[in-house]
Structure 1
Amino acid sequence: MDDLTELKKALLSHRIDRNFPEESLGKRCCEIACVSLENGCYGVGAILVDKTDNILIEAGNEIFLKGFHSARHAEMLVIDRFELQYPKYGDRSGLTMMVSLEPCPMCLTRLLLAGIGEIVYLANDDAGGMAGRIDRMPPAWINLASLQNRRLAKVSNTLESLATRLAACRLGELRNRLLANIR
């Protein structure tokens, strides 16, 4: 298991591989995830970009920042801030949410309801991710999901591995902390 110091070094030394079109944005997600870990939260980072890859909003997981807040997943915070900053933003089908880790069921349904056109994630989350399991949702959600694309990011294996390692860092400790807050 990686420690945070090792992950920070790996992230700092990671060079953008120009052969992968989403490498720069993916690295930014990982940088945000690293800050979340430094703040005692889960290592997940998210950014919302427009059609020209301009970053509109970014956030990291803040579930344990200044107390316990179950809804402060990175994706949820990005959408909250987006809706505050751009209250009259029209068609959202051209927006892409890039996340360092595959979104959980709560975040995925929020992204569907927010009308985000595409979800791109660096690392699969076999234990908790939902983007690859749309077929297991109720019919109404499957119907809504037909309006959205979901896929793995076009990043190097090195960056994908780094995103996976960030998500796994301190996972046992964070899960225990979560349980201590709800039971």
Structure 2
Amino acid sequence: MQNTRENDKKFMRHALDQARLALEEGEFPVGCAIVQGDTILQSGRRRNSEGAESNEIDHAEMVTLRALLAEQSGLDYQGITVYSTMEPCLMCYTTLLLSGVRRFVWAYEDVMGGGTNLPLQHLPPLYRDMQVELVSDVLRQESLSLFAQFFQNYTYWQDSLIAEYTLTQYQQLIEGTDRNPQT
């Protein structure tokens, strides 16, 4: 599962920059970068969590993929990696799989809705035969810090599993007892 590459941290930093912008905008701090080889093709962040245009589709990965597809038709997905500051949810993961992405790198695990544990081998051939590479915990502490800031300041998520988990993980990080160190 883990096959960290030399540039993974570099590209994750770019996704983290997007997550910081999302946090500054009052959004869930998820950033994404879609990379091919050594080139960032597109980046984006979570949008429309609240307000008049509120929806559950504008996750960072979906926003970034839509922007990329609007710019480039007939994209060859060979060698594409998606970097996300949080493990992709089921919607984002399967959409990216169907688009041709086979390598996913994320910083922070989504204990409430992460989709990468989907057992592809138990699904129909379209999914079962996909060779997918998953890399977790790249710059995890930086992402964890952003999520902790978010959950400390927004009451909407206050009692959710992910808020409680994140704040516990952040406290352990501060105390030096974090059991999931960043790579």
TM-score by length of 1: 0.72
1:97 aligns with 2:77: no
Select 1:139's aligned residue among 104, 120, 123: 123
Structure 1: runs of 5 or more not aligned: 1-18, 177-183
Decide whether aligned partners of structure 1 residues 111 and 174 sit closer, same or farther in structure 2, where only a CA change above 3 A counts. farther
Following TM superposition, where does structure 1 have runs of at least 4 consecutive aligned residues deviating by more than 4 angstroms?
Answer: none
Deviations 1:24-75 (A, max 9, x none): 2111111110110111110000000012x21010001013366312211000
Using the alignment, how far apart are the partners of 1:164 and 1:21 within structure 2?
20
Residue of structure 2 in register with 1:116 after alignment: 101
Decide whether aligned partners of structure 1 residues 137 and 80 sit closer, same or farther in structure 2, where only a CA change above 3 A counts. farther
Decide whether aligned partners of structure 1 residues 174 and 81 sit closer, same or farther in structure 2, where only a CA change above 3 A counts. farther
Using the alignment, how far apart are the partners of 2:128 and 2:72 within structure 1?
26
**How far did 1:137 drift?**
8.5
Using the alignment, how far apart are the partners of 2:8 and 2:98 within structure 1?
25
1:161 aligns with 2:146: no
Deviates more, 1:69-78 or 1:134-143: 134-143
Using the alignment, how far apart are the partners of 1:134 and 1:64 within structure 2?
25
Residue of structure 2 in register with 1:150 after alignment: 134
CA contact (8 A) 2:12 2:33 kept: no
Using the alignment, how far apart are the partners of 1:63 and 1:143 within structure 2?
33
Using the alignment, how far apart are the partners of 1:47 and 1:174 within structure 2?
27
**Aligned residues, how many?**
150
Using the alignment, how far apart are the partners of 1:49 and 1:102 within structure 2?
16
Paired residue secondary structure (2:49) = coil
Using the alignment, how far apart are the partners of 2:101 and 2:120 within structure 1?
20
Among all aligned residue pairs of Structure 1 and Structure 2, give the percentage whose two residues are the same amino acid.
23
Decide whether aligned partners of structure 1 residues 35 and 148 sit closer, same or farther in structure 2, where only a CA change above 3 A counts. same
Using the alignment, how far apart are the partners of 1:148 and 1:54 within structure 2?
20
Decide whether aligned partners of structure 1 residues 137 and 110 sit closer, same or farther in structure 2, where only a CA change above 3 A counts. farther
1:173 aligns with 2:158: no
C-alpha RMSD over aligned residues:
2.5
TM-score by length of 2: 0.72
Opposite residue 150 of structure 2, the aligned amino acid is R
Paired residue secondary structure (1:106) = helix
**How far did 1:168 drift?**
3.8
Decide whether aligned partners of structure 1 residues 117 and 123 sit closer, same or farther in structure 2, where only a CA change above 3 A counts. same
Using the alignment, how far apart are the partners of 2:29 and 2:146 within structure 1?
5
Select 1:86's aligned residue among 60, 69, 72: 72
Opposite residue 152 of structure 1, the aligned amino acid is S
**How far did 1:22 drift?**
2.0
Opposite residue 72 of structure 2, the aligned amino acid is Y
CA contact (8 A) 2:120 2:128 kept: no
Select 2:55's aligned residue among 65, 69, 76: 69
